């Protein structure tokens, strides 16, 4: 029962103090689950990030579910997931009670401007950490540079192209190279 409470409390803390969605939470989840608690390895965190991004649902909830399951099975997954979503539900409920004038308060509007900057920095931090620890090779570097250039061009020229399509293209290229290089059955 102690590990279940620890999972709930840890992910509730992450959910309570992280604004901006899953990408902003990645570096905090990594800090709590890899560096501090040592529940998972950095490689597992990289895999969780990729898998959680490519499966339905919010990335932070998928990550919490995986870590909880690794620590305490199904109950661990439930406690970690509930811990992650409880603060958001509480905050949204409280805001909904005062929604009419909520964003008109100068203090709240200013806080949200500051939060936007912090979210951008958290996402940048997560991306930089992943890039630093990524196994470098011609393929991974090429895909990273190509995806960055494609997303930049899509944003600059306001093209209607999905980032999901870019991820699928990168996955197909990586998988094709893997199969060609290592073989399917090895």
Structure tokens at 159: 């093209």
* DSSP, residue by residue, 93-153: HHHHHTHHHHTTSHHHHHHHHHHHHHHHHHHHHHHHHHHHHSPP-HHHHHHHHHHHHHHHH
pTM above 0.95, yes or no: no
For every one of its 186 residues, what pLDDT tens digit does the chain have, with 9 covering 90 and above?
799 999 999 999 998 877 666 777 888 898 999 999 999 998 898 888 888 777 777 888 899 999 999 999 999 999 999 999 999 888 888 877 776 677 677 887 788 778 778 777 777 777 787 777 777 788 878 888 888 898 888 888 888 888 788 888 888 888 888 888 876 655
Do 119 and 24 touch, CB atoms closer than 8 A?
A: yes
Residues contacting 110, CB < 8 A, separation 6+: none
Burial class (CB in 10 A: 0-12, 13-18, 19+), 97: exposed
Return the residue matching tokens 């009419």.
100
Do 177 and 184 touch, CB atoms closer than 8 A?
A: no
């Amino acid at each position: 029962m102690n590990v279940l409470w620890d999972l709930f409390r840890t992910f509730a803390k992450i959910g309570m103090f992280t604004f901006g969605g899953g990408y902003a939470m990645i570096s905090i989840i990594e800090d709590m689950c890899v560096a501090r608690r040592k529940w998972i390895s950095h490689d597992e965190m990289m895999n969780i990030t990729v898998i959680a991004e490519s499966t339905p649902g919010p990335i932070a909830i998928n990550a919490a579910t995986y870590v909880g399951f690794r620590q305490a099975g199904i109950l661990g997954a439930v406690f970690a997931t509930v811990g992650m979503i409880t603060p958001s539900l509480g905050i949204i409920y409280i805001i909904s009670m005062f929604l009419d004038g909520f964003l008109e308060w100068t203090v709240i509007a200013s806080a949200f401007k500051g939060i936007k900057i912090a979210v951008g920095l958290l996402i940048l931090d997560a991306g930089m950490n992943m890039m630093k620890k990524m196994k470098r090779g011609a393929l991974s570097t090429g895909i990273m540079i190509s995806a960055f250039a494609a997303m930049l061009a899509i944003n600059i020229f306001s093209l209607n192209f999905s980032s999901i399509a870019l991820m699928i293209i990168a996955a197909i290229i990586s998988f094709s190279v893997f199969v060609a290089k290592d073989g399917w059955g090895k």
